Amino acid sequence: MVVVGGSNPLVATIFCSPVGLGVHTSKGLIMMNDVIAYKDGAFLIDTQTALASSKTYEDKILFDNSKDALEVIRHSCAHLMAQAIKALYKDAQFFVGPVIEDGFYYDFRVSEKIGDADLKEIEKKMAELANAKLPIEKIYTTKAEAIKHFANDDLKQEVMLRIPDGEVSIYKQGDFEDLCRGPHVPNTKYLRFFKLIKVAGAYLGGDEKREMLTRIYGIAFSDKESLKDYVTMIEEAKKRDHRKIGNELKLFTFDDEVGAGLPIWLPNGGRLRSKLEKLLFSAHRKRGYQPVRGPEILKSDAWKISGHYQNYGENMYFTVIDEAEYGIKPMNCLGHIKVFQSEVRSYRDLPLKFFEYGVVHRHEKSGVLHGLFRVREFTQDDAHIFCTPDQIKENVLEILSFVDSIMNTFGFHYEMEISTRPEKSIGDERYWEVATQGLKNALDENGIKYGIDEGGGAFYGPKIDIKITDALKRKWQCGTIQVDFNLPERFDISYVDANNEHARPVMLHRAILGSFERFYWYFN
């Protein structure tokens, strides 16, 4: 075992511990220009690791609110919170405490019930620990030694089931230690501007069949002003909470007897929804879209052909009818493929545009359900365009124009992001390359700025994600445009080309609002 980042400058000692034999190298905590980490290519390296290495790291991460700095600060603050919880609740045991987009959280087990009212006391203890300026040590050991070290902690054993064999690391500050790959700041003195947001429940490992742990969410910044601005935003968000507004305006409700994640639209909400549906219906028809409707339940054989069964099955609901398995649709694309297949198609017919307000069902875990934002039943403003390969760009541009019209109508600012092939996907690599390049060309040739989300595409094709900014400057996923060569191939659909030969169409999947449910949520 090697320990780095101690409190006495330039001191090295050999010592034994319950975890193993190793070298304790300590080069102090005095940091020039508030360097809290380094970057080695795409990887963040904490100062503890850098001090123990013979390599020189030129790319410094300073103590500020940059993306990289906040990742280190917030990861460290999760451990500070855990240390405070352990000091207040002696029997607390900890699972994982990752950084997330809007802060951090920690999942843990405790015998006492902890609620939002207890967060102030935890914050107070965190402040005491931060002011104590505790050095944060990184301890290198092996997974086998760590298993022995945490032999009496079943949650840590669960964590180690999820990591590969070989070297692992433990971070220690004061009397608190936890298994973690880091990176962390070198001292708790850098963790002064934080706020605990809420207490929630979370199933162990996200498995609904396992025990429910306590989860606390928090946020942290490098300065007081940024924290103050964030807290103000949170307070504004509470005032705009669509669940509160929906109840006050009698738009929608949920009922435990009906089931979690299944919204019930009340008369006021029904009228609002109807007006939006009429507006969109007219806009679609003006652009040449034809209304269609597919069934909400299809034989599993169809989902196996599409690849949903193998790649998306964990998000679907299945049932057996007349000894045959059926799947409730999580997407509308298969129904629209069957519409295309219902008669012989000519190249003169293309592009063919079908649209549907399609009701879909997805098996969301109970822990992520959140009002209309994350539900198990929702309605997509879904459409599919069947076109020739050389019609991809013009149709993507037409969709982008449609998006711009709708977003401007509702006063939304939006951004674009191209999501590329995920690890779990289907189809030939050349199809993915052509489809991805087609999306990039459409945006590039029209001077539209976009980001790249590597590996964020659908399992059957790359996509453009439309992300809107709400009144509190938060960004949310809204609509999507996807280029798909794979489903037409898998269902062997074709059209008759100018040479009277069968040719394969390209399928464009498209939703502008995303879903009616989530779109109503955006208004707040």
Type of residue numbered 134: L
Q: Which residue among the candidates 24, 138, 192, 509 is catalytic per the annotation?
A: 509
Total number of residues shown for the chain: 524
* Residue 205: closest CA among 109, 80, 119, 311: 109
Share in percent of the chain as helix, strand, coil (round to 5): 35, 30, 30
- Annotated catalytic, 384? yes
Torsion-angle region of 487 (φ positive above 0: left; ψ -120 to 50: alpha; else: beta): alpha
Contacts of 400 (CB under 8 A, 6+ apart): 442, 443, 446, 448, 464, 481
Calpha distance 157→168 (Å, rounded): 13
- Cβ count within 10 A of residue 38: 22
- Would you call 509 a catalytic residue per the annotation? yes
Beta strand 167-173 with 176-179 is antiparallel
Residue 437 falls in the annotated catalytic set: no
Q: Of 180, 333, 387, 478, which residue is the catalytic one?
A: 333
Active site residue 362: yes
- Name the nearest CA neighbour of 329 among 318, 337, 338, 340: 318
Tell me which of 361, 463, 510, 518 is the catalytic residue. 463
Alpha-carbon span 6 to 34, nearest angstrom:
17
Separation in Å, CA 133 to CA 61, 137, 185, 219: 20, 13, 11, 20
Q: Is 199 exposed, middle or buried (0-12, 13-18, 19+ CB in 10 A)?
A: middle
Secondary structure letter of residue 307 according to DSSP = T
Task: Choose the catalytic residue: 384, 421, 510, 518.
Answer: 384
Query: Within its chain, how far is the Cα of 436 from the centroid?
Result: 21
CB burial of residue 82 (10 Å; 0-12, 13-18, 19+)? buried
Q: Which of 192, 215, 362, 518 is catalytic?
A: 362
H/E stretch holding 515 reads none
How large is the C-alpha radius of gyration of the chain? 27
Residue 472 token pair: 């509190």
Dihedral Cα 59, 60, 66, 71, nearest 10 deg: 100
Of 68, 107, 381, 382, which residue is the catalytic one?
382
Tokens of 96: 């994982």
Rounded to whole angstroms, the Cα distance separating 114 from 82 reads 13
**Is 24 a residue of the active site?**
no
Cα gap 458→440, rounded to integer Å: 16
**Catalytic residue status for 463:** yes
Residue 218 in 3-state DSSP? strand
HSE-CB at 93 with a 13 A cutoff on CA atoms is 14
CA angle 287, 288, 293 (to 5 degrees): 115
Pairwise CA distance, residues 418 & 437, whole Å? 10
275 carries an active-site annotation? no
DSSP label at residue 512: S
Distances in whole angstroms, Cα of residue 102 to Cα of each of 3, 141, 408, 433: 31, 31, 27, 32
Kindly name the residue from 48, 83, 173, 380 that is annotated as catalytic: 380
Residue 43 makes CB contacts below 8 A (sequence gap 6+) with none
Active site residues: 333, 362, 380, 382, 384, 463, 509
